[in-house]
Chains A and B, each alone.
Chain A
């Protein structure tokens, strides 16, 4: 079994890999990175078109065109695809922000999931694992570090930088680093995992989504 990962950045994929591995026992090599990746060749890059094909735009584009999604799902062991979104820029994509009440996190998650399914033009929700991080995925990592609810943390990345002892602007996200700093999702006891989940609703929702889809599949 393999899980494809469409994420806004490589570092986001690392967090997703640790969370799912911890829950299911899958190995890092069971995850297939699909996005982000370089869209252009070195010639394009020299001509100024070298941006990484990632972020919200890339994910939206992929959902509408389904190049990587179909590639992956057409393979016999291509069973699930985790799709990641940070909600921080969601307003730009026509998603009205719900009221900031107790259900804010859950309502925003549902709005984004509906948007994704709209873009896909097909209900693939049974094979998709929605990694919708309210604001930023760094807020999920903060749950491993401090005992407080990170959902409403204003600038999660800055706080993470501070909590990890980096000087401002010095935390440069990359896959290996984020794999290391989110490693506890993979290695900690279920007791501790529960604690982390209680500190961020959107993290908990993702965890439950994986649990309800992947775990039964693995047990079959």
Chain B
């Protein structure tokens, strides 16, 4: 694919405002989905790692469900609870937030299919934090919330960052669920599909290559930043 794409066509495609807007939309909606849903996913991961409660196994199964079901089916499910007739849709509409055919809907679809990656990574991170350290913090007078923010979260941070990167990546690459919830505005995977369907392989290829290159650059940068943080912490440890 890379060899069949000339630098000229790649350059011309990169200049197209439709392509630029699509890539930008894909990136910011995925970032938004990751950040917003992390506030729910991280505490949930902590509960899953630390607490025993009825139906825990069922909840674990539900968390992993988006990984195994067809994403078009996931899109239909999302449409059910964000459409204008649903409770969530009505609440959203009342404050001027529409989901169907809107970036907010794209973000929800991205989050739905990618959140298992964050929850599982964060849960593994929290499981790796010694309960003794949390108990020590409690016995030093810290409240449970302070223990979470000063001990559990920093010590699980490496896994959480990894989960955030994976969630962001998975969100960017989502197609099946998004095409059901919001064909327009077009995220890049939908744009590639649109160009392939309407104009053929030749027109779809440069956008694909461009999106792959940009994704690659973003993830290399994110991994690099995460590693930089780790190595600066470990050098402080020395």
Note whether A and B form a binding pair. no
